Amino acid sequence: QVILVESGGGLVQAGGSLRLSCAASGRTFSLYVMAWFRQAPGKEREFVAGITRGGSSTYYADSVKGRFTISRDNAKNTGYLQMSSLKPEDTAVYYCAAEKDHVNVYSGVSGYDYWGQGTQVTVSS
């Protein structure tokens, strides 16, 4: 198993930037496909971005393309989500997720076995 802990959330004005981190412990992080999801109050948890094991391929929800960048540093057992040009609609709890049995990135929550506790991102107008 792997334990995931998100950090880096906070309050930011629209147009600003935040960088989220996902620190992994336990099994070697390089064996896991990793993704970020977010969930706003009253809404379903939705896929934001995903990255393959070696970081060679990345995938993004249409709503964040061109604004968010997912990356990982397997030597540090850490994944990242760089968020720029933030909008109020980006406000949500952001979750890191991982799955060792995948080669591809999946956009559904059922595709991931391990989840972090979430970190709040609030974007003010």
Per DSSP (E only), the strands in the chain are 2-7, 10-13, 18-26, 33-39, 46-51, 58-60, 68-73, 78-83, 92-99, 114-115, 119-124
Statement: residue 103 has pLDDT above 90: no
Return the pLDDT at 101.
85
Give the pLDDT mean for 96-108. Answer: 92
Q: Residues of the chain with pLDDT > 70: what percent?
A: 100
**Is 38 exposed, middle or buried, given 0-12, 13-18 or 19+ CB atoms closer than 10 A?**
buried
Statement: residue 42 has pLDDT above 80: yes
Using the structure block, give the residue that is written with the tokens 């379903």: 44
Give the pLDDT mean for 16-36. Answer: 94
